[in-house]
Amino acid sequence: MLDATPLEPTPATGFLVTLLSFFSYFMLFSQFPMTRNIPWVNLLLFALALGLLGVGLRRAFRQPERYQGKVLGPVLAVLSVLILGLFLFYNFSFSRQLPASAGAPRVGEKAPDFTLPDQHGQPVKLSELWAPAAAGAEAKPARWVLLVFYRGYW
């Protein structure tokens, strides 16, 4: 009769979660701004992977005859840490080396006039938002306009 045991954390399990975390960012999570800009889901997966690696390594060294992991465990742990380092370097260091946008307006500088669709698909011109709105005989002061430029790296 087979002994049914729950899924035990091993270094191989931690390494597989590390690979899942690394590749899922590029295949899935980089498509959404919420998880592309700050890869919080992947960082949580990496934390889970490191926890599984730690528990797996402890078990492998306490019971080497059962897990046969005194050599493979540390190798998988080092590979996992290297993959995590590569991921962190790519997301938090390499992405900061994007070229500067020379044509973007500076803070406080007047933005060039442009037209974009609103939430209903109607074109809205920036200069129309600045113009005073006439209400009867009295003109209201110009409206405030806040422009936020998001410069992504996709």
Q: How confident is the model at residue 136 (pLDDT cuts 50, 70, 90)?
A: low
Buried b (16+ CB within 10 A) or exposed e, 70-93: eeebeebbeebeebbeebeeebee
Q: What is the DSSP letter of 71?
A: T
Chain position carrying tokens 């960082």: 43
Long-range contacts of 3-6 (CB under 8 A, 24+ apart): none
- Residues 131, 90: one domain? no
Q: Is residue 56 part of a domain?
A: yes
Given 57, 75, 97, which residue is the final one in a domain? 97
Residue 7's contacts (CB-CB under 8 Å, 6 or more residues apart) are: 13
How far apart CA 129 and CA 93 sit, in angstroms, is 38
Number of domains in the chain: 2
Its pTM stands at: 0.61
Residue among 152, 28, 26 at smallest CA distance from 87: 26
- Residues 68, 122: one domain? no
Residue 50 belongs to domain spanning: 11-97
pLDDT of residue 94: 76
Buried b (16+ CB within 10 A) or exposed e, 96-119: eeeeeeeeeeeeeeeeeeeeeeee
pLDDT more than 90, % of the chain:
28
Q: Tell which wins on pLDDT, 61 or 79.
A: 79
- Residues 20, 92: one domain? yes
pLDDT more than 70, % of the chain:
77
- Residues 18, 92: one domain? yes
- Residues 73, 116: one domain? no
- Residues 125, 50: one domain? no
- Residues 81, 111: one domain? no
- Residues 120, 71: one domain? no
Q: Measured at the alpha carbon of residue 74, what is the angle toward residues 56 and 48, in degrees to the nearest 5? A: 45
- Residues 80, 117: one domain? no
